[in-house]
Amino acid sequence: MSHKRQPTGPCIFVLNSKNLPYSVIIFWLIGPVNVTMAWTWSLFVCRYQYNTILPNSETDNGANSGMTFFLGIDAGGTATKARLTDGSGKILGEAAGGPANARIGVQALHAQLVDISQEAVKNAGLTRDDAAAARCGMGIAGINRMGVKADIQAMDFPFASVQYSSDAVIANLGAHLGGDGAILILGTGSVGLVKRGEDSFSIGGYGFPISDEGSGAALGLSAIRHALRALDGRTRPTPLSQAITKQFEHAIPRVIAWMDQSAPGDYARFAPLVMDYADNGDEIALSIVRDAALHVERFIETIVARGAPRCVLMGGLAQRMKPWLRQRIVAHIDEPMGDALDGALILAGLPIACAPSRP
């Protein structure tokens, strides 16, 4: 919704080399007869010239002039999401894309973050000039790895300001809208984060495959292991193992070739399949999901023991895992007050009271 800039005062003040000759001619022809008519036609010519001849660089979005926008980005191992709002928290545009965590490399990460941002701006019907006025908050999976944050901060982003943190931090900010509490993210990876006053600390989240218990990547890794054992005869094949090995034409060398180039998100893509077969009673799937549920329960018990007043499950696997938890554990789980993108917007500087605003 781009608008031509309109004159805010008498047109005589925007006369230029393009329209001045026309105004002089009008006064020369009409002025001696009717001065009022001469002025009227001169103003018309001036306004017409102003609206049609000024180059594009001289135009802007009059409705958005002087506005501040807020852009929140949640960059994870499987997907990246962005949300653009105005100063009241009204959502103007959103976008989603592929993984943008630290493991893909800083250059690829930067490119993905810029692309998803531009997509959100485009979906909002805004321009790059509008984006330049935006205050951005980014929560990036793996940003706490040694040297990653400094490398990202050295990159150029087309915004008025950028605040960086981890995906866990923005998830916690969103879940409790800046208040005290804890979150347990069950997505591609897993991590708990507890905030109490000025103190905050994480539990787990050291990276795949040495950590990320109960996560999508962990479920996928276990499924691949069981499928390989079924192929070489160490365990009995089940519908789950056959569904997985079918994707590799039931050939172990193909599984190994895939493994050599796979990231955590590739393993996590098998998680929904594991959950589906567990719901249907598959022996291997049940074993995998029950083991994952024990890890999730231990996370929650530790979070409660560390004094968190609230605990929220977040991430793509959270709702599917919740029914597998014992009732006494579920009793400690609260509903989120907002999502990770709300947290990213708070990180960017959006007032907390505006964060959950929806159209």
pLDDT at 58 over 60: no
In whole angstroms, what is the distance from residue 126 CA to residue 86 CA? 11
User: What's the pLDDT at 37?
Assistant: 53
**Contact by Cβ (8 Å): 60, 132:** no
Instruction: Please indicate, yes or no, whether residues 331 and 184 belong to a single structural domain of this protein.
Output: yes
Q: Which two tokens stand for residue 144?
A: 């706490």
Residue with more model confidence, 30 or 218? 218
Q: Are residues 124 and 201 in the same domain?
A: no
* 312, 220: one domain: yes
Task: Work out the pLDDT band at 356, boundaries 50, 70, 90.
Answer: low
210 and 268 both lie in a single domain = yes
Contact 193, 203 (CB under 8 A): yes
Whether residue 195 lies inside any domain: the answer is yes
92-to-89, 313, 357 alpha-carbon distances in Å: 9, 27, 11
Question: What integer pLDDT is reported at residue 10 of this predicted model?
Answer: 34
**80 C-beta neighbours (distance < 10 Å), count:** 26
Q: What is the pLDDT of residues 176-212, one digit of tens each?
A: 999 999 999 999 999 999 999 888 999 999 989 999 9
- Cβ distance 63 to 86 under 8 Å? no
Query: For residue 34, what pLDDT band results from cuts at 50, 70 and 90?
Result: low
336, 185 contact by CB (below 8 A):
no
Would you state the structure tokens that stand for residue 293, as one six-digit string? Answer: 């549920």
Q: What is the pLDDT of residue 27?
A: 46
Please check whether residue 121 is in contact with residue 114, taking contact to mean a CB–CB distance below 8 angstroms: no
Domain CATH for 292: 3.30.420.40
Question: Residue 67: which of 91, 48, 85 has the closest Cα?
Answer: 85
Of the pLDDT bands very low, low, confident and very high (cuts 50, 70, 90), residue 33 is: low
The number of folded domains in the chain is 3
158 and 96 share one domain: yes
For residue 279, CA distances in Å to 21, 245, 256, 346 come to 81, 20, 28, 38
pLDDT, tens only, 61-108: 334 556 889 999 999 888 899 999 999 999 999 999 988 888 888 899
- Determine, yes or no, domain membership for 90: yes
Confidence class of residue 115 from pLDDT cuts 50, 70 and 90? very high
Share of the chain above pLDDT 70, in %: 81
| Residue 28 pLDDT exceeds 80 | no
Q: Which two tokens stand for residue 244?
A: 């997985």
In percent, the amount of the chain with pLDDT more than 90 equals 69
Residue 315 forms part of a structural domain = yes
Between CA 169 and CA 185 the distance in angstroms is: 11
Shared-domain flag, residues 236 and 305: yes
Question: Is 1 among the domain residues?
Answer: no
For residue 270, the enclosing domain spans 180-335
Q: Is residue 157 located within the same domain as residue 209?
A: no
Q: Name the helix (H) or strand (E) containing 109.
A: helix 106-123
Are 186 and 323 in a shared domain?
yes
- Region 24-36: what's the mean pLDDT? 50
- Domain membership of residue 106 (yes or no) is yes
